[in-house]
Amino acid sequence: MKRIYFFMLLSVWMFAACSSNSGTVKTDASTTMDTPAEASASTGREEVFHHPGAGFSMTKPMDWKYLSPEMVKTASESTKWNDAELEKAIKENPNAPLVVITRYQEPYPTLNPSVDVRMVHIPVAGMPPKDILNMSTEVLKRAYPDLTYVDEVQDANVDGINGAYTKIKYTIAASDQKFPTLARMWMVPRGSNMFIVSMYGPQEGPDVSEESFSQILKSIKIEQQ
């Protein structure tokens, strides 16, 4: 039971950022950060985010925006889940992201392409990332009944570290609106912890953002312990 509960929490963390792009949160634009404390040198087209405590860095396209911790928290708290246990888990066990970036300034009227990076403790020592991601994604079907795989859970490599990856699609329901969503997720272990990199966007149209997501993924650097 304890293990299942952790995977439920892990599933919530994987998708916590998606609610901030569903149109349910309307906050003043001033809540979006221009330059977070960890942001470092920038060029004319991109900016490097570096979190020294986590040993993580990622290059943000210059026209993408940082989402403030306050907006992330507000979005998470305002989300209505179809599963009462999932909703209780996210409200009682918040796990702040290292960084969240969005393609457009919030508030945005429809699904805003976003990247969310979190660092969590590995639930079971020695468990392969592929198994962790597979179990966590299956738990999510309780919240999103229409969830289907675009790319099955599989082994993947991020910055030379073996991990796991999947791409899924599902529908976010917010008020009287529905947002068909395409999510890509990577789990990258390092020691007793792992990074969860989640990238969200619409399923079709000009905001699918596959090229931007690919460039951001390639830019990720993880310091070895």
Q: Count Cβ atoms below 10 Å from residue 198 Cβ, excluding itself.
A: 22
Nearest to 14 by CA among 194, 175, 191: 194
Q: List Cβ neighbours of 219 (8 Å cut-off, separation of 6 or more).
A: 46, 48, 58, 59
Provide the number of structural domains found in the chain.
Answer: 1
What confidence score (pLDDT) does residue 8 get? 40
Per residue in 180-214, pLDDT (tens digit) is 999 999 999 999 999 999 999 999 999 999 999 99
Average per-residue pLDDT for the chain: 77
What CATH code is carried by the domain that includes residue 217?
3.40.1000.10
What confidence score (pLDDT) does residue 26 get? 27
Q: List Cβ neighbours of 73 (8 Å cut-off, separation of 6 or more).
A: 94, 96
State percent of the chain over pLDDT 70: 67
Place of tokens 């090229």: 211
C-alpha atoms less than 13 angstroms from C-alpha of 101 in its C-beta half-sphere:
24
Q: Which has the higher per-residue pLDDT, 79 or 118?
A: 118
Nearest to 111 by CA among 218, 17, 10: 17
What confidence score (pLDDT) does residue 21 get? 41
Residue 201 corresponds to which tokens in the numbers above?
A: 């966007």
Average pLDDT over residues 32-56: 68
How far, in Å, CA of 213 to CA of 198, rounded? 10
Considering only 79-83, 119-123, 201-205, which range has the smallest mean pLDDT? 79-83
Average pLDDT over residues 1-24: 41
In 55-176, DSSP assigns E strands to 56-61, 65-66, 99-102, 114-121, 148-158, 161-174
Domain carrying residue 57: 2-222
Q: Which has the higher per-residue pLDDT, 113 or 86?
A: 113
How far, in Å, CA of 126 to CA of 21, rounded? 34
Length of the chain: 225
Q: What is the band of 7 on the pLDDT scale with cuts at 50, 70, 90? A: very low
